[in-house]
Amino acid sequence: QQLGDRLPEVLDRAIEELTPPETICYQDELQIVELLASQPSPEVILAIRPTPALQTRMSELLDRNKSGTLSRLEEAELARYLLLEHWVRLAKAHAYKHLQTAA
């Protein structure tokens, strides 16, 4: 309760600390769907990271969204990226829970 709206930030930091040094980078929805459909191990899921190019693009879109200068196409692109990030967070939360119950 004390963390309030900082919970996503706290979860990201916790997951980063638990993530193995080798990472699996993704650029789009298809790559994530294919990876998750392959039923990877929890360790592999925790190693998933967006590519630097995707991180840069998301930052640009988020900045432009704050300033109210997004086109309709960019709004749809940002919505897709946010959904993609949500999928990854859910998968990581499930993987982390699985590792905790297995330990």
Residues 72, 25 contacting (CB under 8 angstroms): no
The pair of three-digit structure tokens given for residue 22, joined into one six-digit string: 């080798």
pLDDT given at position 71? 93
pLDDT at 21 over 60: no
Other C-beta atoms lying within 10 Å of the C-beta of residue 86: 11
Other C-beta atoms lying within 10 Å of the C-beta of residue 36: 16
CA distances (Å), origin 89, targets 24, 72, 83, 95: 14, 26, 10, 10
pLDDT given at position 5? 66
